[in-house]
């Protein structure tokens, strides 16, 4: 038998876990870490899911031993339908080649050039949040909109920033499709 990290008990094929995740995903994963530690395991349906919370362990998974791990296949399938075989969904040698091609755009000098654009996008996001008053804000959606705004500003121009809402909504729809 495979030794797995600790995690929540599996009942009813993990459906109660899915319900808890859908209700409050961030609260759910915070509870996982609090109850089970820096690495957790869940068995949902036929899937075995692992969550890694420690920064050192995350580096070990994503950098030091990236070749030994695969991403969540269902999300990759859904995003591949929308993005083709982009750096967002590829693995292995194809991903390495794509990453090497993109890498010059992320050198220290280029990143420094992006800072004003990131600040502008962040200011816009904060202004938008300030207009929400005491209403509850869907954090994941707000961060997706910010990420899309930053991506569009840095890759295209500040004029493309108005497309961030449409791009963020597309990402949200794809994410919900993958989760379903």
81-115 burial code (b ≥16 CB/10 A, e <16): eeeeeeeebbeeeebeeeeeeeeeeeeeeeeeebe
Predicted TM-score (pTM) of this structure = 0.53
User: What pLDDT is recorded for position 31?
Assistant: 92
State residue 160's pLDDT score.
63
Res 158: pLDDT:
61
pLDDT of residue 180: 64
pLDDT at 102: 82
Mean pLDDT by 10 residues, the chain (180 residues): 83 86 86 93 86 90 78 71 72 82 84 89 89 82 83 73 70 69
pLDDT at 6: 86
Q: What integer pLDDT is reported at residue 77 of this predicted model?
A: 75
Residue ranges in the chain assigned as alpha helix (H): 15-23, 25-36, 55-59, 73-83, 92-102, 108-130, 139-155, 164-179
pLDDT value of position 128: 86
User: What pLDDT, on the 0 to 100 scale, is given for residue 161?
Assistant: 58
């Amino acid at each position: 038998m495979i030794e797995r990290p600790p995690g929540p008990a599996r009942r009813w094929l993990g459906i109660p876990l899915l319900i808890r995740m859908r209700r409050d995903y961030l609260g759910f994963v915070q509870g996982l870490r609090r109850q089970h530690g820096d690495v957790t395991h869940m068995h949902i349906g036929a899937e075995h899911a692992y969550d890694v919370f420690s920064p050192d362990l995350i580096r070990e998974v994503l950098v030091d031993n990236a070749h030994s791990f695969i991403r969540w296949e269902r999300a990759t399938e859904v995003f591949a339908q929308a993005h083709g075989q982009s750096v967002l969904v590829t693995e292995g040698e194809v991903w390495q080649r794509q990453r090497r091609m993109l890498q010059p755009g992320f050198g220290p000098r280029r990143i420094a050039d992006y800072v004003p654009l990131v600040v502008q996008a962040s200011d816009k996001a904060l202004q938008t949040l300030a207009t929400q008053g005491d209403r509850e804000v869907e954090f994941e959606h707000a961060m997706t909109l910010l990420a899309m705004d930053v991506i569009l500003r840095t890759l295209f121009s500040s004029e493309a920033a108005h497309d961030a809402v449409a791009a963020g909504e597309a990402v949200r729809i794809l994410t919900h499709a993958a989760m379903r």
